[in-house]
Protein backbone atom coordinates (compact mmCIF):
# COMPACT_ATOMS: atom_id res chain seq x y z
CA UNK A 1 0.00 0.00 0.00
CA UNK A 2 1.53 3.27 -1.09
CA UNK A 3 1.19 6.76 0.47
CA UNK A 4 1.37 5.39 4.04
CA UNK A 5 4.52 7.33 4.87
CA UNK A 6 3.93 10.99 5.68
CA UNK A 7 5.97 14.05 4.73
CA UNK A 8 6.28 17.48 6.32
CA UNK A 9 7.94 20.07 4.10
CA UNK A 10 9.74 23.22 5.29
CA UNK A 11 10.67 26.01 2.86
CA UNK A 12 8.29 24.35 0.41
CA UNK A 13 8.42 27.02 -2.32
CA UNK A 14 5.99 26.07 -5.07
CA UNK A 15 6.22 22.40 -4.10
CA UNK A 16 9.04 20.85 -6.14
CA UNK A 17 10.18 18.64 -3.27
CA UNK A 18 6.57 17.89 -2.29
CA UNK A 19 5.61 16.84 -5.81
CA UNK A 20 8.67 14.61 -6.12
CA UNK A 21 7.83 12.81 -2.87
CA UNK A 22 4.14 12.59 -3.77
CA UNK A 23 5.00 11.02 -7.13
CA UNK A 24 7.22 8.50 -5.32
CA UNK A 25 4.29 7.32 -3.19
CA UNK A 26 4.48 9.44 -0.03
CA UNK A 27 1.57 11.27 1.61
CA UNK A 28 1.99 15.03 2.10
CA UNK A 29 0.81 15.93 5.59
CA UNK A 30 1.72 19.61 5.84
CA UNK A 31 4.06 22.21 4.33
CA UNK A 32 5.33 25.66 5.25
CA UNK A 33 6.27 28.57 2.99
CA UNK A 34 6.93 32.24 3.69
CA UNK A 35 6.69 33.84 0.21
CA UNK A 36 3.06 34.81 -0.40
CA UNK A 37 3.27 34.45 -4.19
CA UNK A 38 4.87 31.01 -3.94
CA UNK A 39 2.00 30.11 -1.59
CA UNK A 40 -0.51 31.08 -4.31
CA UNK A 41 1.17 28.71 -6.79
CA UNK A 42 1.45 26.00 -4.14
CA UNK A 43 -2.24 26.14 -3.20
CA UNK A 44 -3.19 25.91 -6.87
CA UNK A 45 -1.51 22.51 -7.03
CA UNK A 46 -1.87 20.82 -3.62
CA UNK A 47 -4.78 20.18 -1.28
CA UNK A 48 -3.06 19.41 2.03
CA UNK A 49 -2.36 21.89 4.81
CA UNK A 50 -0.04 24.75 3.82
CA UNK A 51 1.06 26.89 6.74
CA UNK A 52 1.84 30.33 5.39
CA UNK A 53 4.36 32.43 7.29
CA UNK A 54 7.78 32.53 8.88
CA UNK A 55 9.16 29.13 9.88
CA UNK A 56 10.81 30.81 12.87
CA UNK A 57 7.42 31.56 14.41
CA UNK A 58 6.03 28.02 13.95
CA UNK A 59 5.11 26.09 17.09
CA UNK A 60 6.81 22.78 16.28
CA UNK A 61 4.91 20.87 18.97
CA UNK A 62 1.55 21.90 17.48
CA UNK A 63 2.25 20.24 14.12
CA UNK A 64 1.41 16.64 13.31
CA UNK A 65 4.45 14.35 13.49
CA UNK A 66 5.64 12.95 10.19
CA UNK A 67 7.85 10.14 8.86
CA UNK A 68 9.97 12.32 6.56
CA UNK A 69 11.03 15.91 7.18
CA UNK A 70 12.17 17.79 4.07
CA UNK A 71 13.79 21.20 3.87
CA UNK A 72 15.28 23.09 0.94
CA UNK A 73 16.52 25.65 3.43
CA UNK A 74 17.62 29.18 2.45
CA UNK A 75 20.76 29.06 0.37
CA UNK A 76 21.90 32.70 0.56
CA UNK A 77 24.22 32.23 3.54
CA UNK A 78 26.00 29.38 1.76
CA UNK A 79 25.93 30.63 -1.81
CA UNK A 80 28.71 32.12 -3.90
CA UNK A 81 26.11 34.66 -4.99
CA UNK A 82 25.40 35.59 -1.37
CA UNK A 83 27.57 37.04 1.33
CA UNK A 84 29.28 33.76 2.23
CA UNK A 85 28.66 34.38 5.91
CA UNK A 86 27.36 30.92 6.70
CA UNK A 87 26.10 30.57 10.24
CA UNK A 88 27.12 34.14 11.10
CA UNK A 89 24.34 35.31 8.78
CA UNK A 90 21.03 35.46 10.66
CA UNK A 91 19.48 33.31 7.94
CA UNK A 92 21.95 30.59 8.87
CA UNK A 93 19.81 30.10 11.96
CA UNK A 94 17.25 28.38 9.77
CA UNK A 95 19.31 25.22 10.01
CA UNK A 96 19.02 25.31 13.80
CA UNK A 97 15.25 25.69 13.46
CA UNK A 98 15.28 22.50 11.37
CA UNK A 99 17.06 20.81 14.28
CA UNK A 100 14.14 21.82 16.53
CA UNK A 101 11.81 19.93 14.18
CA UNK A 102 14.09 16.87 14.24
CA UNK A 103 14.26 16.95 18.06
CA UNK A 104 10.49 17.27 18.44
CA UNK A 105 9.32 14.93 15.68
CA UNK A 106 12.12 12.36 15.43
CA UNK A 107 11.27 11.56 11.79
CA UNK A 108 12.48 8.35 10.19
CA UNK A 109 14.21 10.40 7.46
CA UNK A 110 15.56 13.93 7.11
CA UNK A 111 15.95 15.23 3.54
CA UNK A 112 17.89 18.48 3.01
CA UNK A 113 18.71 20.35 -0.19
CA UNK A 114 21.02 23.30 -0.79
CA UNK A 115 23.37 24.92 -3.28
CA UNK A 116 26.48 23.02 -4.33
CA UNK A 117 28.71 25.63 -2.70
CA UNK A 118 27.54 24.54 0.76
CA UNK A 119 30.03 21.66 0.49
CA UNK A 120 33.09 23.91 0.37
CA UNK A 121 31.82 26.87 2.36
CA UNK A 122 34.22 28.07 5.05
CA UNK A 123 36.72 25.35 4.09
CA UNK A 124 34.09 22.68 4.69
CA UNK A 125 33.37 23.77 8.28
CA UNK A 126 29.73 24.71 7.58
CA UNK A 127 29.05 21.24 6.21
CA UNK A 128 30.83 19.67 9.19
CA UNK A 129 28.52 21.53 11.57
CA UNK A 130 25.45 20.31 9.67
CA UNK A 131 26.70 16.71 9.57
CA UNK A 132 27.79 16.66 13.21
CA UNK A 133 24.54 18.18 14.50
CA UNK A 134 22.47 15.59 12.64
CA UNK A 135 24.70 12.68 13.65
CA UNK A 136 24.54 13.87 17.29
CA UNK A 137 20.82 13.15 17.10
CA UNK A 138 21.48 9.50 16.26
CA UNK A 139 21.03 9.79 12.49
CA UNK A 140 23.08 8.48 9.60
CA UNK A 141 24.32 11.16 7.19
CA UNK A 142 25.01 10.82 3.46
CA UNK A 143 25.33 13.61 0.92
CA UNK A 144 25.95 14.00 -2.78
CA UNK A 145 26.02 16.76 -5.40
CA UNK A 146 23.68 15.86 -8.28
CA UNK A 147 23.24 17.66 -11.60
CA UNK A 148 19.75 17.79 -13.11
CA UNK A 149 21.05 16.87 -16.57
CA UNK A 150 22.63 13.67 -15.20
CA UNK A 151 19.98 12.57 -12.71
CA UNK A 152 16.68 14.05 -13.91
CA UNK A 153 16.72 13.52 -17.69
CA UNK A 154 16.15 17.26 -18.12
CA UNK A 155 18.60 19.33 -20.23
CA UNK A 156 19.36 21.77 -17.39
CA UNK A 157 22.79 22.31 -15.89
CA UNK A 158 21.86 22.60 -12.22
CA UNK A 159 24.05 21.20 -9.45
CA UNK A 160 22.61 20.91 -5.96
CA UNK A 161 23.74 19.10 -2.82
CA UNK A 162 21.34 16.62 -1.23
CA UNK A 163 21.75 15.43 2.36
CA UNK A 164 19.81 12.37 3.50
CA UNK A 165 19.73 11.11 7.08
CA UNK A 166 17.98 8.06 8.57
CA UNK A 167 17.09 7.55 12.22
CA UNK A 168 19.44 4.80 13.43
CA UNK A 169 16.78 3.45 15.81
CA UNK A 170 14.61 2.88 12.74
CA UNK A 171 17.34 1.51 10.45
CA UNK A 172 18.95 -0.81 13.06
CA UNK A 173 21.99 -1.35 10.83
CA UNK A 174 25.39 0.00 11.90
CA UNK A 175 26.78 -0.40 8.39
CA UNK A 176 23.90 1.35 6.60
CA UNK A 177 24.79 3.77 3.81
CA UNK A 178 22.26 5.46 1.57
CA UNK A 179 22.83 4.71 -2.11
CA UNK A 180 22.19 7.67 -4.36
CA UNK A 181 20.68 6.86 -7.76
CA UNK A 182 22.96 6.14 -10.72
CA UNK A 183 23.52 8.63 -13.51
CA UNK A 184 21.20 8.20 -16.45
CA UNK A 185 21.51 9.13 -20.10
CA UNK A 186 20.00 12.44 -21.11
CA UNK A 187 17.44 11.69 -23.82
CA UNK A 188 15.55 14.99 -23.82
CA UNK A 189 16.80 18.01 -25.75
CA UNK A 190 16.17 21.72 -25.35
CA UNK A 191 13.75 21.72 -28.28
CA UNK A 192 11.63 19.06 -26.52
CA UNK A 193 10.81 21.60 -23.82
CA UNK A 194 10.38 24.70 -25.97
CA UNK A 195 6.91 25.72 -27.16
CA UNK A 196 6.96 25.25 -30.94
CA UNK A 197 4.20 27.71 -31.78
CA UNK A 198 4.31 31.48 -31.40
CA UNK A 199 4.02 32.70 -27.82
CA UNK A 200 2.82 36.07 -26.50
CA UNK A 201 4.54 38.98 -28.20
CA UNK A 202 5.85 40.39 -24.92
CA UNK A 203 8.47 37.62 -24.76
CA UNK A 204 10.12 38.60 -28.08
CA UNK A 205 12.99 40.99 -28.75
CA UNK A 206 12.18 43.07 -31.80
CA UNK A 207 14.32 45.48 -33.79
CA UNK A 208 13.46 48.36 -31.48
CA UNK A 209 15.43 46.72 -28.64
CA UNK A 210 18.95 48.07 -28.21
CA UNK A 211 20.50 44.59 -28.09
CA UNK A 212 18.74 43.31 -31.23
CA UNK A 213 21.85 43.49 -33.47
CA UNK A 214 23.85 41.66 -30.84
CA UNK A 215 21.24 38.90 -30.71
CA UNK A 216 21.12 38.67 -34.49
CA UNK A 217 24.87 38.14 -34.58
CA UNK A 218 25.17 35.68 -31.67
CA UNK A 219 21.89 33.79 -31.20
CA UNK A 220 22.07 31.44 -34.16
CA UNK A 221 21.13 27.90 -33.08
CA UNK A 222 17.67 26.63 -32.13
CA UNK A 223 19.34 23.80 -30.22
CA UNK A 224 20.94 26.11 -27.66
CA UNK A 225 20.01 28.57 -24.95
CA UNK A 226 21.84 31.89 -24.69
CA UNK A 227 22.17 34.46 -21.96
CA UNK A 228 22.28 38.19 -22.47
CA UNK A 229 25.03 39.61 -20.26
CA UNK A 230 24.34 43.35 -20.65
CA UNK A 231 27.28 43.94 -22.99
CA UNK A 232 27.51 40.58 -24.74
CA UNK A 233 25.66 37.35 -25.42
CA UNK A 234 26.88 34.12 -23.84
CA UNK A 235 26.26 30.87 -25.71
CA UNK A 236 25.75 27.69 -23.72
CA UNK A 237 27.66 25.27 -25.93
CA UNK A 238 26.71 22.12 -24.06
CA UNK A 239 23.18 22.20 -25.51
CA UNK A 240 21.56 22.29 -22.07
CA UNK A 241 19.84 25.14 -20.27
CA UNK A 242 22.20 27.16 -18.04
CA UNK A 243 21.26 27.21 -14.35
CA UNK A 244 17.99 29.10 -13.96
CA UNK A 245 18.14 31.83 -11.34
CA UNK A 246 15.59 33.61 -9.15
CA UNK A 247 16.32 37.02 -10.72
CA UNK A 248 16.10 35.95 -14.38
CA UNK A 249 12.73 37.67 -14.77
CA UNK A 250 14.11 41.05 -13.81
CA UNK A 251 16.37 41.45 -16.84
CA UNK A 252 20.10 42.01 -16.55
CA UNK A 253 22.56 39.21 -17.15
CA UNK A 254 20.44 36.18 -16.34
CA UNK A 255 17.83 36.21 -19.08
CA UNK A 256 17.75 32.87 -20.95
CA UNK A 257 17.25 33.64 -24.67
CA UNK A 258 16.39 31.38 -27.61
CA UNK A 259 15.79 31.80 -31.32
CA UNK A 260 12.71 30.29 -32.98
CA UNK A 261 10.89 30.50 -36.31
CA UNK A 262 9.19 33.59 -34.90
CA UNK A 263 12.29 35.47 -33.74
CA UNK A 264 14.42 35.96 -30.66
CA UNK A 265 12.73 35.65 -27.31
CA UNK A 266 13.23 34.85 -23.67
CA UNK A 267 12.00 31.59 -22.20
CA UNK A 268 8.42 31.76 -20.95
CA UNK A 269 7.63 30.95 -17.29
CA UNK A 270 6.04 27.65 -18.42
CA UNK A 271 9.23 26.68 -20.25
CA UNK A 272 11.30 27.53 -17.16
CA UNK A 273 9.07 25.25 -15.07
CA UNK A 274 9.58 22.53 -17.69
CA UNK A 275 13.34 22.93 -17.31
CA UNK A 276 12.79 22.20 -13.61
CA UNK A 277 10.89 19.04 -14.56
CA UNK A 278 7.38 20.21 -13.71
CA UNK A 279 4.65 18.67 -15.90
CA UNK A 280 2.42 20.92 -17.99
CA UNK A 281 -0.55 20.10 -15.75
CA UNK A 282 1.22 21.92 -12.91
CA UNK A 283 -0.91 25.06 -12.65
CA UNK A 284 0.72 28.47 -12.96
CA UNK A 285 -1.59 31.09 -11.42
CA UNK A 286 -2.42 34.51 -12.81
CA UNK A 287 0.33 36.40 -11.03
CA UNK A 288 3.09 38.49 -12.59
CA UNK A 289 5.64 36.73 -14.78
CA UNK A 290 8.46 38.15 -12.66
CA UNK A 291 7.11 36.16 -9.69
CA UNK A 292 6.77 33.01 -11.79
CA UNK A 293 10.34 33.35 -13.06
CA UNK A 294 11.55 33.78 -9.48
CA UNK A 295 9.60 30.69 -8.40
CA UNK A 296 11.04 28.55 -11.21
CA UNK A 297 14.57 29.80 -10.48
CA UNK A 298 14.22 29.11 -6.76
CA UNK A 299 12.72 25.67 -7.22
CA UNK A 300 14.31 22.25 -7.15
CA UNK A 301 14.37 19.99 -10.20
CA UNK A 302 11.39 17.78 -9.47
CA UNK A 303 12.50 14.58 -11.32
CA UNK A 304 15.75 14.49 -9.29
CA UNK A 305 13.70 14.70 -6.09
CA UNK A 306 11.39 11.94 -7.30
CA UNK A 307 14.33 9.60 -7.95
CA UNK A 308 15.79 10.29 -4.50
CA UNK A 309 12.37 9.89 -2.86
CA UNK A 310 11.89 6.54 -4.63
CA UNK A 311 15.20 5.30 -3.20
CA UNK A 312 14.15 6.47 0.27
CA UNK A 313 10.81 4.69 -0.14
CA UNK A 314 12.62 1.45 -0.98
CA UNK A 315 14.80 1.71 2.13
CA UNK A 316 11.80 2.32 4.41
CA UNK A 317 9.87 -0.58 2.86
CA UNK A 318 12.86 -2.90 3.25
CA UNK A 319 13.38 -1.98 6.91
CA UNK A 320 9.67 -2.34 7.71
CA UNK A 321 9.35 -5.71 5.97
CA UNK A 322 12.44 -6.95 7.84
CA UNK A 323 10.87 -5.80 11.11
CA UNK A 324 7.61 -7.63 10.32
CA UNK A 325 9.55 -10.78 9.48
CA UNK A 326 11.38 -10.68 12.83
CA UNK A 327 8.08 -10.12 14.67
CA UNK A 328 6.56 -13.18 12.98
CA UNK A 329 9.60 -15.30 13.86
CA UNK A 330 9.34 -14.27 17.50
CA UNK A 331 5.63 -15.12 17.49
Whole-number Å distance between alpha carbons of 222 and 191:
7
The angle that helices 36-45 and 289-298 make with each other, rounded to 10 degrees, is 80
Cα angle, residue 95 at apex, residues 132 and 129 outer, rounded to 5°: 25
Residue burial 17-46, b: 16+ Cβ < 10 Å; e: rest: bbbbbbbbbbbbbbbbbbbebbbbbbbebb
CB of 21 within 8 A of CB of 44? no
The answer to whether 41 touches 66, Cβ cutoff 8 Å, is no
**Nearest Cα residue to 294 out of 32, 92, 22, 37:** 37
Contact 301, 156 (CB under 8 A): yes
Active-site positions read 75
List % helix, strand, coil for the chain (3-state, nearest 5): 40, 20, 40
Length of the chain: 331
Q: Are 58 and 50 in contact (CB under 8 A)?
A: no
Amino acid sequence: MKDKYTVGSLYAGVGGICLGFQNAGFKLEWANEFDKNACITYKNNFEHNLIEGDVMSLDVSALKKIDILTAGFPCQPFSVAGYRKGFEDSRGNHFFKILDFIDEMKPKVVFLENVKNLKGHDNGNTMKVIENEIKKRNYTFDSSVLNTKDFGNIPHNRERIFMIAFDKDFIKDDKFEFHFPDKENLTKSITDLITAEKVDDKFYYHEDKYMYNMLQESVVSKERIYQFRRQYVRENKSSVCPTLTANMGTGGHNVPIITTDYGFRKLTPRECFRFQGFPDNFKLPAISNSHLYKQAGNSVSMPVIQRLASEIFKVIEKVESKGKKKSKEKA
